[in-house]
């Protein structure tokens, strides 16, 4: 089991950018597909982005395509979420996730083996 710690959240104006980082501890980080979920006030937890073990494949929810980029650096045991052109609708707690074994990219909650604690992103307008 891996432990995940997010950082990089904060307050930004609409149209601005932010980069989230997720540091993983534990064995075999490169064996895990990784991803990001978010939960806005009064909303259900939502899939945002996922990346395969080697970083060769990515997937995004439609609302962030073209604006967000997920990446990973396996040598640093870190996954990133670069967020550009932020909207107030992006305001949420963002969670880093690691997939269960045999899941290439975690896109639903049933495929997640570990959750980070979350980092708050607030976009003002």
The pLDDT tens digits for 78-109 are 999 999 999 999 999 999 999 998 899 999 99
10-residue averages of pLDDT along the chain (125 residues): 93 98 87 96 96 96 98 95 98 97 93 96 96
Displacement of CA 67 from its chain's centroid (Å): 13
For 56-93, letters b (16+ CB in 10 Å) and e give eebbbbeebeeebbbebebeebbbbbebeebeeebbbb
Residues in the chain: 125
- The Cα–Cα gap between 52 and 2 comes to 16
Collapse the DSSP code of 56 into the 3-class scheme (helix H, G, I; strand E, B; otherwise coil) and give the result.
Answer: coil
């Amino acid at each position: 089991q891996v432990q995940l710690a997010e950082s990089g959240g904060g307050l930004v104006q609409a149209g601005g950018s932010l980069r989230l980082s997720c540091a993983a501890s534990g064995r075999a980080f490169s064996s895990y597909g990784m991803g990001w979920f978010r939960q806005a006030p009064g909303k259900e937890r939502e899939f945002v982005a996922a990346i395969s073990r080697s970083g060769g494949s990515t997937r995004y929810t439609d609302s962030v395509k073209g604006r967000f980029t997920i990446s990973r650096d396996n040598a640093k045991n870190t996954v990133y979420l670069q967020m550009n052109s932020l909207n107030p609708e992006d305001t949420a707690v963002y969670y880093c996730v690691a997939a269960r074994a045999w899941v290439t990219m975690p896109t639903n909650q049933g495929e997640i083996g570990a959750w980070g604690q979350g980092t708050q992103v607030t976009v003002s307008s």
